[in-house]
Structure 1
Amino acid sequence: MMFGSIDIAVLLASLMVASTPILLAALGETVVERSGVLNLGVEGMMITGAVCGFIVAVETGSPTLGFIAAALGGALLSMLFALLTQVFLASQVPSGLALTLGGIGLASLLGQNYVGIKPPSVSDLHIPLLEHIPFFGQVLFQHDAMVYLSLLAVVLVWAVLKYTRAGLILRAVGENHTAAHALGYKVRLVRVLAIGFGGAMAGLGGAYISLVRVPQWTDGITAGIGWIALAIVVFASWRAPRVLIGAYLFGGITVLQLNLQAAGAKVPVELLSMSPFLATIVVLVIISARTKGAMNGPAMLGRIFEAH
């Protein structure tokens, strides 16, 4: 199916690929924020995961080990944020910003000898029978494993938060950490675990960029995707299914602007490149106006917990 010079099936398939790193990072941050912690270091954790995954994949020849290393790298960097905010009780906003700046610098240092190197390819999973369905087979059933794992992660995060005791405890900590502490829940431990999960997911998202989306290493490879992921959490009202919608919406905008550039659209390239970020700002302004400033987020979001 063609629209002008743009193949719609290819466009939608590319949308799923482009949305995967945003979806992974935003899901992780959703869990973090539902625990009452605001971690603005998503961009730093993503680019750290991108370089760790790239280096390990190149050195071992295994993309799988690369993704594992990326998750560990993102989680380890997030533990620095956990140390600052949960142990030393530092303010979460500057700590998160420092994490982003530190992650970008660390990634640049680690990756300086890997510029121009091609990583091992990540194979697509061609699902038998389903891949041959006209149009839908190409769009839905010819992707790599991480695309499907990201969709599975949406279901798991939603189910855990909504139906399990662990999810109930995490939400209780995010809504009223004083009451949760009085009931005997270990608020700091819950938040540290949530922060670690968010770091691992951001690391996976970063590795997906460097190993699949743009299979190479360059400084600043995440290009602000971490900030879009943060905005999507608010856009989604801290709900996993809505995170999926938000990720695919903004991933679609990114893919569309690339296709419009390739099709020679008579629109300044700079404006097209800005479009995902402009869309992010517009959506947040509309949401803010409709809710009159009440974003219905976790009540304890960004607040420091001090046990008495």
Structure 2
Amino acid sequence: MENLAALIAASINSGTPLLIAALGLLINERAGVLNLGAEGMMLVSAIAGFAVGYQTQSPLLGFAAGALAGMLMSSLFAWLALVLATNQVATGLALSIFGAGLSAFMGQSFVGMSLTIKPTAIPYLSDLPFVGVALFSHHWIVYFSLLLCVAIICFLYRTRAGLVLRSIGESPESAHALGYPVRSIRFAALLFGGACCGIAGAYLSLVYTPMWVEGLVAGRGWIALALTTFATWRPARVLLGALLFGSVTILQFHFQAIGIAIPSQILSMLPYVATIVVLVLISRNPDWIRLNMPASLGKPFRPG
């Protein structure tokens, strides 16, 4: 039971950066903007968060720096995609490549350094048998990610602003005709998505590892992008998908710990194999995706 509780806790810990990043990308895509630069944004945010956290010994300042770095990267994307009306797919890919190179350059002097993060736990509840270790002994960012998911559900489906955001994702021309500032709202959505990717990247370097190595994000940005499609752009399904992918990621270490004779390279492939399998399964019904996907996703908007 102790091993099972530790496995559940590790799965939640592994799924947290995927959840936060995917929720931010979901808001982008609900507004009709496809940002494939998540990997680059998370990498730059990871080194920015680690550098500030290491220099100040304050994880909170590290998370703030990560969020700011993510917003700066998303601002660059917004200027190119919204103002200059560049191709969103090509711009996002360029942002990921740029972020990978920039993070490697910025992190040269921090390679091999590590942080000591004090463990956090919910008083009294963390002392409960089984559930205390599994659910109530996590970093506060884990609980923040759950609250963020609930907040986004309420925002999208219970507020007028959420309705406006979704309408822009469906028909920006109609929203513009009604007087809504489509570009400004999309820019705000991109900033929010950048901040979420920034917090997710900082979580990897400040809590999950906690250290900096080149390529620390290791494809999680791409998994977060796939997760939004897997969840058909619904926050609750993003939460379930993040826990699923987090569990698959942790299984590779669990198999190694219990001595299952599987090559480590195959185990390392498990999260990406799971991503491909899920995308293949949901692609078998294109009508289902088409009904749930924002109609203007990836399409540039030029106000008349």
The TM-score, its normalising length taken from structure 1, stands at 0.96
| 1:37 matched residue in structure 2 | 33
Q: Which moved more, 1:32-41 or 1:292-301?
A: 292-301
RMSD, matched Cα = 1.1
Q: How far, CA to CA, are the matches of 1:202 and 1:114 in structure 2?
A: 21
Q: Report matched runs for 1:194-273 at 5 Å.
A: 194-273=189-268
| 2:89 matched residue in structure 1 | 93
SS in structure 1 opposite 2:183? helix
Q: Residue 61 of structure 1: CA displacement?
A: 0.9
The TM-score, its normalising length taken from structure 2, stands at 0.97
Q: How far, CA to CA, are the matches of 1:161 and 1:185 in structure 2?
A: 17
Residue-by-residue CA offset, 1:107-141 (whole Å, 9 max, x unaligned)? 011110001111241x3332222112211111111
| 2:137 matched residue in structure 1 | 142
| 2:184 matched residue in structure 1 | 189
SS in structure 2 opposite 1:116? coil
Q: How far, CA to CA, are the matches of 1:261 and 1:102 in structure 2?
A: 35
Q: Which amino acid aligns with 1:137?
A: G
Q: 1:18 aligns with which of 1, 14, 18?
A: 14
Q: 1:83 aligns with which of 79, 83, 99?
A: 79
Q: Residue 23 of structure 1: CA displacement?
A: 0.6
Instruction: Kindly indicate whether the alpha-carbon contact (under 8 Å) linking 1:62 and 1:120 is maintained by their aligned counterparts in 2.
Output: no
Q: How far, CA to CA, are the matches of 2:161 and 2:55 in structure 1?
A: 38
Q: Residue 99 of structure 1: CA displacement?
A: 0.4
Q: Residue 292 of structure 1: CA displacement?
A: 4.8
- Listed as ranges, the gaps of 5+ residues in structure 2 are none
Residue-by-residue CA offset, 1:26-51 (whole Å, 9 max, x unaligned)? 00000000000000000000011100
Q: How far, CA to CA, are the matches of 1:126 and 1:303 in structure 2?
A: 45
Counting matched residue pairs gives 303
| 1:289 matched residue in structure 2 | 284
SS in structure 1 opposite 2:120? strand
- Listed as ranges, the gaps of 5+ residues in structure 1 are none
Compared CA separation, residues 148 and 186, structure 1 to 2 (3 A): same
Residue-by-residue CA offset, 1:258-305 (whole Å, 9 max, x unaligned)? 111222211121111101000000001000103457442100000000
Compared CA separation, residues 293 and 155, structure 1 to 2 (3 A): closer
Q: How far, CA to CA, are the matches of 2:144 and 2:119 in structure 1?
A: 13
| 1:59 matched residue in structure 2 | 55
| 2:162 matched residue in structure 1 | 167
| 1:71 matched residue in structure 2 | 67
Q: How far, CA to CA, are the matches of 2:236 and 2:180 in structure 1?
A: 27
| 1:49 matched residue in structure 2 | 45
Instruction: Kindly indicate whether the alpha-carbon contact (under 8 Å) linking 2:232 and 2:289 is maintained by their aligned counterparts in 1.
Output: no
Q: Which moved more, 1:266-275 or 1:70-79?
A: 266-275
Q: Which amino acid aligns with 2:102?
A: L
Q: How far, CA to CA, are the matches of 2:81 and 2:13 in structure 1?
A: 34
Q: How far, CA to CA, are the matches of 1:200 and 1:28 in structure 2?
A: 8
Q: How far, CA to CA, are the matches of 2:17 and 2:159 in structure 1?
A: 26
Q: How far, CA to CA, are the matches of 2:157 and 2:86 in structure 1?
A: 30
Q: Residue 257 of structure 1: CA displacement?
A: 1.2
